[in-house]
Amino acid sequence: MKEFIHNKVKVIDGLFAEFNQIQKLFAGKSFDFECRFNAFLIKLSDYFENRGESARESEVLRIRSMLQTVKRGFNPSKMEKINTGKGELWWGFSYNGIEHLDLLLQEIYKKEISKLEEGEELLTNLILNLCQQGILSDEKLKGLDSIPRIDASWNYLLSQNGSISVINKKLLTNLIPEDINLLIEKIVCKIIAQ
């Protein structure tokens, strides 16, 4: 099932904001780091579990397990007992975990943003084309001042023009109608502002 990409991007933005705070705690060697990092790992693991993304959930759980292994006095890479330097080793593995999580979150974020950018590019070209053809006038664009009006206008255009239906089908491969409406709203605002 496709999901609301705008919402997913907002959730990932929130995760990044929290993650950045945790990285600041790490950089400052704060005493709060361990507790906050562990709580973030649990939150992220639950997020992926609830979304049914078991591979990503597994990556986060692996990081938690690695840090717990160090806490119990074993080097996770060699599975040898740690006699000295357990704290330094834990900070080193924490950095490794932070680096891995950053790559994971960046990958997800870029993937979702690219879906929105592709949709926006398609819709921008379509709307500008409709303006050139006189199908959409400045007055009609100004009338698209709410999501319900945008939705009604979009559905009307779909019923009147077969080529727009093809573009809509392409958009629906990655987006849901709510995403399309929000992108149209953004594009219309840009055009009116010029």
Asked if pLDDT for residue 30 goes beyond 80, the answer is yes
Give the ranges where the chain is alpha helix by DSSP (H).
Answer: 5-27, 33-51, 54-71, 86-132, 138-143, 147-160, 162-171, 177-193
As a whole number, mean pLDDT of residues 132-140 equals 92
d(CA 170, CA 172): 5
By percentage, how much of the chain surpasses pLDDT 70?
99
The pLDDT of residue 129 is above 80: yes
How does residue 83 score in pLDDT terms, banded at 50, 70 and 90? Answer: confident
Contact 120, 183 (CB under 8 A): yes
Q: Specify the pLDDT at position 2.
A: 78
CA 181, CA 127: separation in Å to the nearest integer?
Answer: 13
- Please list, in sequence order, all residues whose beta carbon lies within 8 angstroms of the beta carbon of residue 177, skipping any fewer than 6 positions away: 151
- pLDDT reading at 27 higher than 90: yes
As given in the structure block, the two tokens for residue 15 are 């995760």
Q: How confident is the model at residue 1 (pLDDT cuts 50, 70, 90)?
A: low
Return the pLDDT at 194.
83
**Is the pLDDT score of 3 beyond 90?**
no
Measure the CA–CA gap between 80 and 22, rounded to whole angstroms. Answer: 29
**Overall average pLDDT of the 89-98 stretch:** 96
Separation between Cα atoms, residue 132 and residue 130, nearest integer Å? 5
What average pLDDT does the segment 18-38 reach?
97
* Spatial distance between the Cα atoms of 108 and 102, rounded to a whole number of angstroms: 10
Other CB atoms within 10 A of residue 181 CB: 21
Under 8 Å CB-to-CB from 160, ≥6 apart: which residues? Answer: none
Q: Identify the pLDDT of residue 79.
A: 85
Over residues 19-27, mean pLDDT? 98
